[in-house]
A and B are shown apart, each in its own frame.
Chain A
Amino acid sequence: MNTLAHGEASSYRSFLESGDRKGILAWILSTDHKRIGILYLACMVSLFFVAVIIGVLMRIEQLSTSHHIFPPAIYNAFFTVHGVIMIFMFVLPGASAVFGNFFLPIMIGARDVSFPRLNLMSWYFFVVGALVVIASLFTGDGPPDAGWTFYVPFSLRTGTNIPLGVFGVFLLGFSSILTGINFITTVHRMRAPGMTWHHMPLFVWATYATAWVQVLATPIIGVTLLLIIAERIFGIGVFDPAKGGDPVLYQHLFWIYSHPAVYIMILPAMGAITEVIPTFAHRTIFGYRAIAYSSIGIAGLGSLVWGHHMFTSGMGNAANLMFSLFTFLVAVPSAIKVFNWTSTLYKGSIEVKPPMLFALTFVFLFSIGGLTGLIQGALNVNVHLHDTYWIVGHFHYVMFGGTGMGFFAALLHWFPKMFGKMYNEKVAAISWFPIFIGFNMLYGGMLVLGYLGMPRRYYTHLPQYSTGHLIASIGGFIMAIGLVLFFANLVVALFKGKKAESNPWGGVTLEWHTPSPPPLENFEEIPVMKGRPYIFNPETAK
């Protein structure tokens, strides 16, 4: 242990029992970063299940080519809303808003974030944004149907309720910017004595890199979305080809944000994995600096690859070539992380408890996601794969197999700390089986379907794809059962779980030096870091 030991005072009172308000007000008016993290968690898990249900409905529609349960227009709304909720309300803020809020201040030895009230305001922007998007489904002339990318000119021409939906996404983006500003300032200004940059846990590094991308990239989509609204409501001509606009320019602006956004989604999950793996391998992380800097490298290089979404848009060979090159380069820092995680396991004493199970799943599925990304990053192959299920499969391997599994691993890892309750480890491990099997049937199936030529976003399919769709749908249902089991287990634990110890997994970073759940101000005394993090065995450490 390289931090100041602290006594668990008998007067200790957890943050859940502190505060001068009762009931719901204790939550929605609290500026405590821990409560705000849990507020995000509650919202996100609810929204996640809404989107899961929509996903299941889409898989039901694809079961048959002759019987259509949903008309095409509804199917278009389904994939739009599934995408918007999953992307903008779950994976994008996901690990950063929930675990970043809860653990970033604790891990750097601070009592809160730099701007606690701004933090609460970000959550309100998130909630209002989410409500506005949901309202857009039931008001106006039907739910948005332009896909989560809102490509022009379709998003300008379609009669559905695009402006309100887009405005909701704008608010979500604003929430993301404010959180980013808060986290960057917190890391710069609030670190405990001795918490130098290279003494910071790697989750903090990842969240820090993410925060920069949030701050630098999100305004671009902000203004792009505002322009869509202006075009729809006032008829201002900026992207509309009928008024001389260039739709490809819209795609550029959209992806200038939305590709870096992919790294906003994956980086905090990678950071969480980097906490889980050494803890359950009981071994110091391999290549601390490589992992820390590769986060920054991903954030930087990830901002230069947006064009790979547009290889078939006709933006020109020179641009295609450069974007393809950078796409291959961005694989390097990602691979550095994978190799470092693997090396950390080498000669560790590995305990495959539920968080570790999901962390290892992350590494496996993310590797498939990353490697399929390289395949479609090649220009000639991309022409064939563009807009097929291959892309959908790849995307879900990275976003769900990566961010989703990372989120689950982090949730299992930190759940005892956040709530002071222990969940049933056996049930958590059992829920992994349907999730893993179903996942690979569903998205692995999509990869194959896409390679065979199944286009994405079609409400039905040709008979030759029926077997593939059947396998994918069955996988989807199996996975949904696993997800229900996974979260039901945690909900039961909230109410009936055994009391959790302060350090159930033998972790060494600062959050494990506080009681479970932590007290209102995290630390009695601000701790002093005396060395690197991840020293599991002080005797053998250099």
Chain B
Amino acid sequence: MSTAPAHAHPVHKDYQGAKFGMWLFLFTEILLFGGLFLLYSIYRSMYPIDFHNGGKHLNVIIGVANTVILLTSSLTVAVAITAIQKGNKKLTLACLGVTIVFALMFLANKYIEWSAEIRHGIYPNGPELLKMPNGEKIFYGLYYSMTGLHGLHVLAGIIALLITLDFVRRDKITGTDFNKLENVGLYWHLVDVIWIFLLPLLYLAA
């Protein structure tokens, strides 16, 4: 730097601050989904029977399978964080890789599930859905909005995990400087937690 300030100050690293900021961000994510949960609770009280019937059409097996997949992926992220703290780079990379694979499996299941519903004509403005009572239209509207928004978060998580993986590979995240990995882990747990709420609200609503 040709015009560096007279007193160059050391790079400011505030891990606690970074984590604090991350928690605030997670808070805003909860509120983002909170709007949908609010809508869900109000519409459910308006159309309890339609929500019950809507839930019957959903594939509980895929829903539960996806829950298991996400929960396990949360475990692998947690293991990755412990591994990097112990200086085990190989295990960290492996765990992050497995997490990404789990995330892709989740999205693949989602694809299979949505495709099946679309084949049955149950999609926005779809022929079957339009024949259903209003409450079920709302139920599926919420189903697609909530799982869709959650799916986008899974996708964002995959990108974040890939970047983190690359950072670990290039030793930008190490046993003494693993704050980024921890924050990505926090994000991934949030994606998991939101799914845990979506499962009973949508799939087990019947």
Contacts and interface: CB of A to CB of B under 8 A. Distances in A.
Interface string A249-263: 100010000000000
Given A219-B32, A220-B34, A235-B125, A249 B14 contact: no
B6 interface: yes
B35 A243 contact: no
Contacts of B17: 114, 185, 188-190
A219 B38 CA distance: 13
A189 B9 contact: no
Interface residues of A, number: 47
A218 B39 contact: no
B135 A244 contact: yes
Nearest to B5: A520
Contacts of A190: 14, 17
A218 B28 contact: yes
B5 A13 contact: yes
Given A114-B21, A115-B21, A188-B17, A237 B124 contact: yes
B26 to A, nearest CB: 10
A279 to B, nearest CB: 29
B101 interface: no
Interface residues on B, range: 35 or more
Contacts of B111: none
Interface in B1-55: 1-7, 9, 12, 14, 16-18, 20-21, 24-25, 27-29, 31-36, 38-39, 42-43, 46-47
A183 to B, nearest CB: 10
Contacts of B32: 219-220, 222-223
A145 to B, nearest CB: 24
Given A220-B35, A243-B137, A185 B24 contact: yes
Contacts of B134: 243-244
Given A111-B9, A184-B24, A230 B145 contact: yes
Given A17-B3, A219-B34, A520-B5, A238 B142 contact: yes
A236 interface: yes
Interface centre among A188, A230, A243 (most CB of B within 10 A): A243
A177 B28 CA distance: 8
Contact of A238 (B6, B39, B135): B39
B141 A238 contact: yes
A180, A219, A222, A230: residue with the most chain B Cβ atoms closer than 10 Å: A219
A233 to B, nearest CB: 9
A218 B32 CA distance: 8
A243 B141 contact: yes
A533 to B, nearest CB: 23
A182 interface: yes
B167 interface: no
B141 to A, nearest CB: 4
B25 A181 contact: yes
B24 A215 contact: yes
A235 to B, nearest CB: 4
B144 interface: yes
A57 interface: no
A11 interface: yes
Contact of A11 (B6, B31, B46, B124): B6
Contact of B141 (A181, A219, A236): A236
A350 interface: no
A226 interface: yes
A223 B124 contact: no
A220 B138 contact: no
Interface in B44-77: 46-47
Contact of A182 (B7, B21, B145): B21
A227 B138 CA distance: 12
Interface string B81-117: 0000000000000000000000000000000000000
Contacts of A249: 39, 42
Given A230-B145, A243-B134, A249-B42, A219 B6 contact: no
A519 B5 contact: yes
Interface string A210-243: 0000011011101110110010001111100001
A243 B47 CA distance: 12
Contacts of A9: 6
A447 to B, nearest CB: 34
B138 A238 contact: yes
A19 B3 contact: yes
Nearest to B27: A215
B159 interface: no
Contact of A189 (B16, B46, B138): B16
A243 B34 contact: no
Nearest to B20: A185
B149 interface: yes
Interface in A477-535: 519-521, 524
Interface string A170-184: 000000010011101
A18 interface: yes
A276 B14 CA distance: 33
Nearest to B6: A11
Contact of A18 (B5, B38, B138): B5
B134 to A, nearest CB: 3
Contacts of B18: 114-115
10 contacts: A11-B6, A19-B3, A114-B17, A115-B21, A177-B28, A215-B24, A218-B28, A223-B36, A237-B137, A253-B39
Across the A-B interface, the 5 shortest Cβ-Cβ residue pairs: A244-B134, A223-B35, A189-B17, A219-B31, A235-B125
Given A215-B27, A235-B124, 16 more contacts: A13-B3, A17-B3, A20-B4, A188-B20, A189-B17, A190-B17, A216-B31, A219-B29, A219-B31, A224-B35, A237-B141, A238-B142, A243-B141, A244-B43, A244-B133, A521-B9
